[in-house]
Structures are given as C-alpha cells and as structure tokens.
Amino acid sequence: MRTVRTNVFETNSSSVHTVCLLPLTDSAKCEPLPTDENNNVVGSFDEFGWDGRCVTAEGKLSYLLVMIWETLPDIAKPDDASIFCANETERKNAIEIIKDTVGFKIIEKVLKEYGGYNGLVISSDYDGYIDHQSCETYETLNDFLEDWGIHGEEEIYNFIVGPSYITIDNDNH
C-alpha cells in the first residue's frame, strides 16, 4: 500500500528518484528500442545520479537493468563483476550475473511478447549506477516495480516504451 501525504515538509539526504506513470493510450505511441541485426533489444548501463529525467524507452530500460544489479545481494556479486567504474571483463561478468536473474528474464519476456523483439542483450560499453539512496530499500527489481504501482507484464512493457518517466533530483541545490 502506498501512502500519499500532502502539505508535509520532507527532506532527503541525497537523491530522490520518482516514477511518474502515465497511461499508454492510442494517441501515445510506443517508442522503439535500439536493436541489433537479429532484432534483439540492446540495453545498456547508464548513470542515474542526482539530476535529470529518464524519459526515453532506452533510458527506462537501462534504469531497470541497473536496478537489477543494484538490488542483487553483495554475495551474488563476485569481486570480478562490477558495472560501475569497471573494466570490460568485470562488466561482462556482471552481465552474465544479471542475465541469470528473474528480473532480466521478465524484462526479456515482455519485450518478446509485447514488442515482437527476439530477445534482450546488454552492451558492455558503459559504466552504470543508481544513486544508492534511490535503490537501497529494494531487494529485487520486482520490489521496485510493485512499489511504484507497475504490476504485471503488460504494465512493465508500457512503462518502458510508453510516456511514463523517472524524475531524478536531489536536495543539494
């Protein structure tokens, strides 16, 4: 259950990431995702720190992929696997770990079923992270999705390709 409070002053010691869910309507077109020559969606790891807005399908997919990594328990992350400030070998090891998660498999499934893509691959060209205070309360990608009211496969797909977005801000202005 989500509690909404109005006229309440709150502060945050670092960053705050807020998901804004907008319905996918007939007038709102699905945004295509980048693909490779085999019609696999190509996801990446981007940085989601203290400011900006994540509005593109590619950016929202990246956010979810990085969230998968950030919510993995430390025991699941060997020393030779990192997506933040890591070398190519460490990122490739991290990708293999992510591909074995339930979260990755769900995202890949919705991209296939609702988007007509053949699969999901992750580019290892980028470092990525989500500011710790915006993900540390979640244990899995599903916890994040459920907390923001994204339930079921179709809603996950609509979130990625539709007009919904993530606002990223901080209190250090």
In this prediction, residue 1 carries a pLDDT of: 44
Q: Give dist(CA 140, CA 160) in Å, integer.
A: 17
Beta-carbon contacts of 87 under 8 Å, excluding residues fewer than 6 positions away, are none
Domain segments of the chain as ranges: 44-170
Q: What is the pTM of this model?
A: 0.82
Q: Give dist(CA 48, CA 57) in Å, integer.
A: 15
Beta-carbon contacts of 83 under 8 Å, excluding residues fewer than 6 positions away, are 45, 66, 69, 90, 91, 94, 127, 128, 129
Give the three-state DSSP class for 137: coil
pLDDT tens sequence across 126-163: 777 676 566 677 889 999 899 888 999 999 999 999 98
In this prediction, residue 77 carries a pLDDT of: 76
pLDDT tens sequence across 32-60: 899 999 999 999 988 877 667 788 999 99
Q: Which of 118, 122, 119 is nearest to 94 (CA)?
A: 122
Q: Say how many C-beta atoms besides its own lie within 10 A of residue 3's C-beta.
A: 4
pLDDT tens sequence across 50-93: 667 788 999 999 999 999 988 888 767 777 677 776 678 888 88
In this prediction, residue 30 carries a pLDDT of: 76
Alpha-carbon separation of residue 170 from 51, 70, 126, 161 (angstroms): 7, 19, 23, 26
Element (H, E) at 143: helix 141-147
In this prediction, residue 82 carries a pLDDT of: 74
In this prediction, residue 60 carries a pLDDT of: 93
Q: Give dist(CA 43, CA 143) in Å, integer.
A: 21
In this prediction, residue 87 carries a pLDDT of: 79
